[in-house]
Homo-oligomer: A and B are copies of this chain.
Amino acid sequence: MEGARPVRAPRGTTLTAQSWTTEAPMRMLMNNLDPEVAEHPDDLVVYGGTGRAARDWRSFDAMVRTLQRLKADETMLVQSGRPVGVMQTHEWAPRVLIANSNLVPDWANWPEFRRLEQLGLTMYGQMTAGSWIYIGTQGIVQGTYETFAAVAEKRFNGTLAGTLTLTGGCGGMGGAQPLAVTLNDGACLIVDVDESRLRRRVEHRYLDEVADDLDDAIEKAVAAKNERRAWSVGVVGNAAEIFPELLRRGVPIDIVTDQTSAHDPLSYLPEGISPDDWHDYAAKKPEEFTDRARASMAKHVQAMVEFQDGGAEVFDYGNSIRDEARHGGYERAFEFPGFVPAYIRPLFCEGKGPFRWAALSGDPKDIYATDKAVMDLFPDNDRLQKWMRGARSKIAFQGLPARICWLGYGERDKAGLAFNDLVARGEVSAPIVIGRDHLDCGSVASPYRETEAMADGSDAIADWPLLNALVNTSSGASWVSIHHGGGVGIGRSIHAGQVSLADGTQLAAQKLARVLTNDPGMGVIRHVDAGYEIAEDVATERGVRVPMREG
């Protein structure tokens, strides 16, 4: 095989590898590149700017080949999307170990990263792209749903009905926003320069319609708000122009955020450039493009701050646009908060985060069986129950059927063991893989997002995600990854991922019990260490051991 081609993971119960322990990472690697899942599969780009699953097609082929032959006590090493070694380990060890995009800090900037990328020495792994547990836009809907629910609780008496949300960026992650707003009963206006991105979200039922032009969009969005209708409208245009224009026209917007790919200035289209010229221009004149993108982001963010001045609820949605706008010369960029300190941190203190799983069989029935298991396990968790019902009825699967819901310490292991039992009893037809986003309670250091404004000032301490990777490697995860620069871009984050296998065996049960306890346990101890009371209570009540608290 050579070069780009459509990739689709095998379905069913026939193994192409030596066992499910290696079939699982192989199918999930392939699934990340499935045209139903990946944003630009021919370039091996899964989501989030240039987040890749493999460095190049030769590396992809070598990984598949190696996984197919790999034995149950061997481990494949992956360096930024390329397989660089196979070593003998043991059956409790991960079958794949991954390090993506990591650079020595003094060299950790976009120009040096791109130089190395062009030399063929690295790739950008984003979070779940290079760690093979991206499950399409659904992956982010739940987090986005939780965030908007928290906004509703904080400012709008628990519902977004009668509010209008303005946002930008309708890509792999950002495309979840309109659905998350409407799941919370609100109206949403979303701006993207690329019409095809908006159309794709309509196809997948994440967005209700694309307006003809700005006037049409405003009319429809404001009507929905006034009628307290859950409805989302997309409009083609550049956020750097549209946001200020909406401000100027005094459109009654209640909530403002943004998920353009601002973390990578070459993935944010500056005003005055047509989308057709985008990639050529960015490739040929990266410095000039960066300056123009930052100048546009400055205008974009200035409008956001001024919406806040006017009373709107405004937050950064994890794309580092505030720092880019600051580089672009706008001084007030950091006046609105990131979404984590504003809404998510209390969940992290309980070890809660984006737990997700996929059915290797490809059979949606398997996911429905796991849905039922989760709903049976946590009957009193109303938000979870509402989410699971909404997800099942409104969310289209992309690639291998998958599900996501936020679970905390003491919950994830229960769900994992229940899934393993379903496999053991034959109630689902093939093994399930269980992973999560790197945006989790104890797996990331990212001072403009997950660790912004920590109580003790420890935002930039990066020991935690590394310990997270090491402890998951020590607990029985199937593949473990350490990445740099996901979400907020090169230089700004260090984070770790894990995926574990429920193949119905006793060994898998032992591994799942450990990984799915220790992994969220990192979130609890990280927040205990930073002095959060909720985390201390969780540690005390649920028996999380912290040596400095012992006598």
* Chain A interface residues (CB < 8 Å from chain B): 58-59, 62-63, 65-66, 75-77, 79-80, 82-90, 92-94, 97, 99-108, 112, 116, 119, 121-122, 445-447, 456-464, 466-467, 469-471, 473-476, 480, 482, 484, 490-494, 510, 514, 517-518, 521-522, 525-526, 529, 544-548, 550
- Quick one: given A85-B525, A518-B87, A545-B86, are A474 and B75 in contact (CB under 8 Å)? yes
Q: Which residues of B contact A97 (CB under 8 A)?
A: 467, 470-471, 474
- The answer on a CB contact under 8 Å between A106 and B518 is no
Q: 7 A-B residue contacts at CB 8 Å?
A: A79-B529, A85-B522, A88-B518, A97-B474, A102-B445, A122-B463, A470-B473
- The answer on a CB contact under 8 Å between B548 and A84 is yes
- The answer on a CB contact under 8 Å between A105 and B464 is no
Q: Which residues of B contact A119 (CB under 8 A)?
A: 456-458
Q: Which residues of B contact A466 (CB under 8 A)?
A: 99, 102, 466, 469, 482
A444 — nearest CB in chain B belongs to which residue? Answer: B104
- The answer on a CB contact under 8 Å between A105 and B547 is no
- The answer on a CB contact under 8 Å between A105 and B548 is no
A121 — nearest CB in chain B belongs to which residue? Answer: B458
Partner of A58, one of B77, B121, B545, B548: B548
**Bound Cα distance A116, B461 (Å):** 8
A112 — nearest CB in chain B belongs to which residue? Answer: B460
Partner of A85, one of B76, B458, B546: B546
A59 CB to nearest chain B CB (Å): 7
Indicate how many identical chains form the complex: 2
Q: Which residues of B contact A62 (CB under 8 A)?
A: 547-548, 550
- The answer on a CB contact under 8 Å between B104 and A548 is no
Partner of A104, one of B66, B447, B467: B447
A70 — nearest CB in chain B belongs to which residue? Answer: B547
A535 CB to nearest chain B CB (Å): 12
- The answer on a CB contact under 8 Å between B470 and A88 is no
Q: Which residues of B contact A459 (CB under 8 A)?
A: 104, 107
**Bound Cα distance A480, B89 (Å):** 15
Q: Which residues of B contact A522 (CB under 8 A)?
A: 85
- The answer on a CB contact under 8 Å between A470 and B456 is no
- Quick one: given A79-B463, A92-B93, A456-B121, are A547 and B65 in contact (CB under 8 Å)? yes
- Quick one: given A105-B484, A116-B460, A461-B103, are A474 and B476 in contact (CB under 8 Å)? no
A511 — nearest CB in chain B belongs to which residue? Answer: B90
**Bound Cα distance A494, B88 (Å):** 25
- The answer on a CB contact under 8 Å between A471 and B550 is no
A67 — nearest CB in chain B belongs to which residue? Answer: B547
A346 CB to nearest chain B CB (Å): 20
**Bound Cα distance A544, B87 (Å):** 8
- The answer on a CB contact under 8 Å between A494 and B104 is yes
- The answer on a CB contact under 8 Å between A517 and B84 is no
**Bound Cα distance A104, B550 (Å):** 30
Q: Which residues of B contact A116 (CB under 8 A)?
A: 457-458, 460-461
Other contacts beyond A99-B466, A105-B106: 7, CB < 8 A: A79-B463, A83-B547, A84-B526, A87-B518, A102-B466, A106-B447, A473-B473
Q: Which residues of B contact A94 (CB under 8 A)?
A: 470, 474
**Bound Cα distance A543, B408 (Å):** 45
